[in-house]
Structures are given as structure tokens and as C-alpha cells.
Structure 1
Amino acid sequence: MIQLTDVNKKFGAGANAINAVDQVNLDIEEGEIFGIIGYSGAGKSTLIRLLNGLEKPSSGTVTIAGYEMSSVSNKKLREARQKISMIFQHFNLLWSRTVKQNISFPLEIAGIKKTEREKKVNELIELVGLKGRENAYPSELSGGQKQRVGIARALANDPEVLLCDEATSALDPETTDSILDLLTSINERLGLTIVLITHEMHVIRKICHQVAVMEAGKVVETGSVLEVFQSPEAPITKRFVSQVTEPSGTEQAIAHLPTGTLVKLVFVGERTEQPVLASLIRTFPIEVSIVQGNISHTKGGAYGTLILQLIGHEKEIEEAIAHLHEQGVRTEVIGND
């Protein structure tokens, strides 16, 4: 569906040139929700402009639904853009138009007859949960309702790809979850391919199938969300993952512990439900204390972390850790006094 091959985007020239996107390669399958995460300045916004054809790569190719975005004629580019819609952080609604009129706007531009427009708009209002708010103006809506209007408007022309540029960043956590649930429902019901740009790992964890982590214009890590949570490699990925897998106060709790060996356990999928800790206590003559624990749920399954303090003879602790490995639990010694 979407393929980026050796994509570079430079701004400026010579010593002052900025490589906003640096040798990026991505494959996004049809019908999946693909997350691209990075902090400010990572190159996310430039990348999304390359996807919707507002920017052309300095080198490399961007192909969407069979269209090579940088080399197609203007007519073909317009055709390609009809297959791509976008929702924004700040909604970008027409403030002088009602909910119904905002959603209808792209259909008016496309020359769709009034009766067809009204039928389509009513279907979309139902789909995004705005029944009863058809005649309200944006100033009368909550942030979540405004984003629902933006989503409905983006779906008006039956796109194949939906680009979401920090679509939940301006919303509170509860509203964010409701919008993410809506996007998941749309993905499942319409088979729409969704590319989601964000700096929030919670968003990636909740709805994405695959993720790419960006830093300084480069994609430093890609994979299924569960794989990336289980085995993050790049330092920036580990920072993002820790935001949602390690409870706040973990470092402070560890810092005030007395002597002992600190071990971080990682459970994936069914392992999160198994009594591994009880087995450890029964089998080995060591003291086991739980320091912190957390379970996160991704599209690919559950992911849990547990930090234990083990006190006992060194040999017995080593045997206990080896036992955990044998049980399929990934372990990491993070402190040893």
C-alpha cells in the first residue's frame, strides 16, 4: 500500500542544509494502523508531507496505492491525493459552517449531487457518533467532538489512506482514548490504512499494529508494537517504551532499596497470566520482594514488566535467574549490591 525507499528530504543548501528526512525506508501494509513516533524535530511532520504529496523527496521514492508521488503528472497527483485524507491536531474546521456543512464540504468540491451528499453526510455523522449535533457550529463543540467532525470530513471521499498528524495531542486523556477507539473501529469496519504521527507512546500502544521510531530524521527502529515493547534496541525507543511500561516513581523506589539483586522481568502474551513468581519462591531459598510491576496491552497481546529484589546467596540467585530464563521470561539484572 505505502512504500518509502531510500527517502531523503533536505532543506537549504551547503553547510546550512538540514536533512529533515534521512534515508528512510518503510513498508506499510494495506489495512494496518502504522504509528510513527518521535520527539519534536525528529522529522515526523516532514515525512507526513511527503506522504500526502505536499513535499517531494530530494531523493528516493514515495509510492502510495500504486502512485509514485514524486514523479506522477499533476493529474495523477490529484487522483492520488483523492485516495489520501488527513486529520490534524487543531481540527482545521470551517468555523462559519455547521457540523453537517463541514463534513459536506469536500463532497461539494467534488461536485457530488445534493441528495447523494446528504445521504453520505448522515452516514458519516452516525459513524463518528455525532447524531444530534448536525447543526452545531465548531464553537459549540468539545475538542473530541471537533476531532470527530474532522474524521468524518476526512472520510467523505472514501479514501484508502488516512493520515493522522498528532490527532490527539490537543485532547485530554479520556477524550484521546475515545478518539483512538473510533479510529480502531473505522480501521476494522472500512479496512482503511491509517498512518499515525505522534510523540505519545500510549497512542502507539493502544491502537497500532506496527511502529517506526524516528530520531534526527532517521528511522532508528521498526517492528510490531509488541516486539518493540518486548525488545527495544535504540536508546530513544527504550525511553518511549518506559513511559508506558514502568510506573512513575520506579527510579526513586529503586534508589531507596537496601542491599540485594534487582532483576527486571519481561512477560509477553500468555506469560503475563502465569504464576512465575510463585514458582520462583517455592523453588529457591531466597527472599523475593516486588518493587514495581505493570501490565500494558497492545494490539499484538499483553506485555508486562516486574522489578524484583532478590536477597540470598549469589549462587542461589544465579540459579533463580536461570530458572526464569527456562520459563521463557526475559530477565535483566539492573542492580546488584
Structure 2
Amino acid sequence: MITLENVSKVYHTKSGDVQAVNNVDLKIEKGEIFGIIGYSGAGKSSLIRLLNGLEKPTKGTITVAGHRIDTIRGAKLRQARLEISMIFQHFNLLWSRTVRDNISFPLEIAGVKKQERLKRVNELIKLVGLEGREDAYPSQLSGGQKQRVGIARALANNPKVLLCDEATSALDPQTTDSILDLLVDINKRLGLTIVLITHEMHVVRKICNRVAVIEAGNIVEQGEVLELFRNPQQQITKRFLNQDSEPEETVEQLRAHYSDGKVLKLSFIGESTEQPLITNLIRHFDVNVNILQGKISQTQNGAYGTLFIQLIGENSVINQAIAFIEENKIGVEVIENE
């Protein structure tokens, strides 16, 4: 569905050349939700602009929904963009138009007849959950409702690809989750390929099948979301994962307050989240187990979680318990006192 081969983008400025995207290779399959995560200035926005033809690559080839986006121009590019739609962080709605008229706008541009437009708009309003708000103006809508209008408008021409540029960054956590749930529903109902640009690992974890991590214009790591949680290779990936789990101050507090025995950080992936680990530890080893805190979260490909526990007992027995945990394919990190 989407293929990038050896794609680079260099901006020529008065102060010198800026390498925004550097030799990127990506393949995104039809119907998947693919995340591209990176911090500000990493090259995310440049990459998404290359995907819809707003920018041309300095080198490399870009194919989206069967179109060579890096070479086509004019009418052919406009036609291709009917199949490549986009939603934005700040909604980009027409403030003088109602919800219905905003959604109808791309159909008007495409020359769709009025009755057909009205039918399609009503379908989309129902799809995104905006019944009863058809005649409201953007100023009368919440942030989540505005983004639902943006999504409906992006779907008006039945695109094959939906590009999401920081689509939830301006929303509160609860509204973010509702929009992400909507995107998953749309993906399943329509078989739409979704590319999601973000700096929030929570967003990637919740809805993406696969993810690429971008840093300084380079894709430094990519793969299935669950596999990245299981085995992150790059330091920047680990930073994103920490952002989505326990804060650093929590680890420091655990070091300071629990000095007896050993404090362990356990990492669960997939089926390991379903094991009765604590019961087995108590049953097989002469140790006291103190549960300090924990969290299990779901991804599109399975569950992952972290659990902090304190083991109190003979040092040799504690080491045997740690070996037992590792044998059960659960990650173990001993939180040492500094």
C-alpha cells in the first residue's frame, strides 16, 4: 500500500542545508495502522508531507495506493490525493461553515451532485458519532467533536489511506482515547490504511500494529508494537517506553523506601501477563512478596505490563526466585540502592 525506498529530503536554507529525512525505507501494508513516533524536529512532519505530495523528496521513490507520489504532478497528483486523506492537530475546519457543510466541502470540490453529497454526509455524521450536531459551527464544538468533523471530512471521498498528523495532541486524555477508538473502528469497518504521526507512545500502544521510531531524520528502529515493548534496541525507543510506563521519580522512591531484600521490576509481554506469578513464588520459595505497584496495558497485538515487587528472605533463595521468574519468560530488573 505504501512504500518508501531510500527517501531523503534536504531543505536548502540561507543558513545551510537541513537534512529532514535521511535514506528512509518503509513498507506499510494495506489495512494496517502504522505509527511513526519521534520528538519535535525528528522529521515526522516532513515525512508525512512527502507521503501526500506536499513535498517532493530530494531522492528516493514513494508509492502510495499505487501512485508514484515522488514523480506525479498537476492533475495526476490531485487525483491521487483523493485516495490519500489527512487529519490535523488543530482540525483545520472552515469556521464559517456548519458541521454538515465542512464535511460536504471536499465533495463539492470533487463535483459530486447535491443529493449524493447529502447522502454521503449523513452517512459520515453517523459514522463519527455527530448526530444532532449537523448544524453547529466549529466554535460551538468541543475539541473532540471538531476532530470528529475533521475525520468525517477526510473520509468524504472514500480514501484508501488516512494520514494523521499529531491528530490527538491538542486533546485531553479521555478525548484522545475516544478519538483513537474511533480510528480503530474506522480501520476495521472500512479496511482503511492509517499512518499516524505522533510523539506519544500511549497513542502508538493503543492502536498501532507496527511502529517506526524516527530520530534526526533516520528510522532508527521499526517493528511490531509488542515486539518493541519486549525488546527495544535504541536508547530513544527506551525513552519513549519509559514515558508510557513508570516515571523516573517512582524508581528513585522505590530505591529509597524499600531497602530490605530486593526490589524487582518485572516486565510482562503477551501470554506472560496471564500467569499466576505471585502465587507460584509464594508456593515454591520461602520468601515474602510485597507488591509495590503495577500496570498492565493492552496493545493491538496483546498485553504488556510492569510490576514492582519486593522479595524478602535469604539472599540465595531470592536469587533462586529471580531465576524462576526469568525461566517463565518474564523480564526482571533488580532496582539496586545507590
**Fold match, TM over 0.5?**
yes
* Higher mean C-alpha displacement, 268-277 vs 173-182: 268-277
CA distance in 2, matches of 1:237, 1:190: 31
What code does the residue aligned with 1:297 have? Q
SS of residue matched to 1:245: coil
Q: Deviations over 1:85-136 (max 9, x none)?
A: 0000111111111111111111111111111111111111111111111111
One-letter amino acid matched to 2:267: V
Q: Which whole-Å CA distance do the structure 2 matches of 1:290 and 1:5 have between them?
A: 48
Name the structure 2 match of 1:330.
331
| 2:310 is the alignment partner of 1:309 | yes
Aligned residue identity for 1:307: F
Distance 1:265 1:314 in 2: 18
CA distance in 2, matches of 1:235, 1:248: 15
Q: Is the 8 A contact 2:322 2:332 kept in 1?
A: yes
Return the alpha-carbon distance in structure 1 between the equivalents of residues 239 and 254 of structure 2.
17
Correspondences of 1:257-296 after superposition (within 5 Å): 257-296=258-297
Residue in structure 1 matched with residue 58 of structure 2 by the alignment = 58
Alpha-carbon distance, 1:65 to partner: 1.3
The code of the aligned residue for 2:16 comes to: N
The question of whether the paired residues in 2 share the 8 Å contact of 1:213 and 1:219 is answered with yes
Q: Distance in 1 between matches of 2:337 and 2:326?
A: 18
Q: Give, in angstroms, the shift of residue 247 of structure 1.
A: 5.8
Q: Secondary structure at the match of 2:85?
A: strand
- CA displacement at 1:336 relative to structure 2: 6.2
Distance in 2 (CA, whole Å) between partners of 1:336 and 1:310 is: 14
> How do 1:165-184 residues align onto structure 2 when only pairs under 5 Å count?
165-184=165-184
What are the Cα deviations for residues 277-298 of structure 1, in whole angstroms up to 9, with x where unaligned? Answer: 2211222223433333111111
Give unpaired runs (5+ residues) of structure 2: none
What is the aligned residue count? 337
Counterpart of 1:79, as a letter, is Q
User: How many angstroms apart in 1 are the aligned matches of 2:74 and 2:101?
Assistant: 29
Provide the rounded CA distance (Å) in 2 between the counterparts of 1:233 and 1:306: 21
3-state SS, counterpart of residue 197 of structure 1 = strand
Q: Which moved more, 1:243-252 or 1:324-333?
A: 243-252
TM-score, length-normalised on structure 1? 0.95
Name the counterpart of 2:301: 300
Gaps of 5+ in 1: none
Contact 2:36/2:214 (8 A) holds in 1: yes
Find the counterpart in structure 2 of residue 22 from structure 1.
22
Secondary structure in 1 aligned to 2:321? helix
**Deviation of the 1:237 alpha carbon:** 1.0
Alpha carbons 1:24, 1:219 under 8 Å: kept: yes
SS of 1:17's equivalent in the other structure is strand
Trace 1:32-47 onto structure 2 (pairs within 5 A): 32-47=32-47
Which amino acid is 1:294 matched to? K
1:141 aligned partner: 141
* Per-residue deviation, residues 292-334 of structure 1 (Å, max 9, x unmatched): 3111111111101112333444432332222112222222334
One-letter identity of the residue aligned with 2:218? K
Measured in 1, the distance between the counterparts of 2:71 and 2:273 equals: 49
Q: What corresponds to 1:237 in structure 2?
A: 237
Identity of aligned residues (%): 65
The 5 A counterparts of 1:34-113 are 34-113=34-113
The Cα offsets for residues 183-218 of structure 1, whole Å up to 9 and x where unpaired, read as 111101000000011111111111111111111111
In the alignment, which residue of structure 1 is the partner of 2:322? Answer: 321
Q: Distance in 2 between matches of 1:75 and 1:88?
A: 24
How far has the Cα of 1:14 moved from its partner?
10
Residues in 1 aligned to 2:334 and 2:245: alpha-carbon distance in whole angstroms: 17
Conserved? CA contact 1:11–1:18, under 8 Å:
yes
Say if 1:178 and 1:248 are closer, same or farther in 2 by CA, change over 3 A. Answer: farther
CA contact (8 A) 1:96 1:137 kept: yes
* Per-residue Cα deviation, 1:16-56 (whole angstroms, up to 9, x for no partner): 22111112111111001111111101110000000010111
Q: CA RMSD in A?
A: 1.8
More displaced 10-residue stretch of structure 1: 317-326 or 239-248: 239-248
Q: TM-score, normalised on structure 2?
A: 0.94
Q: Which residue of 2 aligns with 1:116?
A: 116
Cα distance, 1:230 vs. partner? 1.6
Select between 262-271 and 214-223 the one with higher mean Cα deviation: 262-271
Query: What SS does the corresponding residue of 2:336 show, helix, strand or coil?
Result: strand
1:282 & 1:14 partners in 2: Cα distance?
70
* Aligned mates of 1:221, 1:89 — CA distance in 2: 25
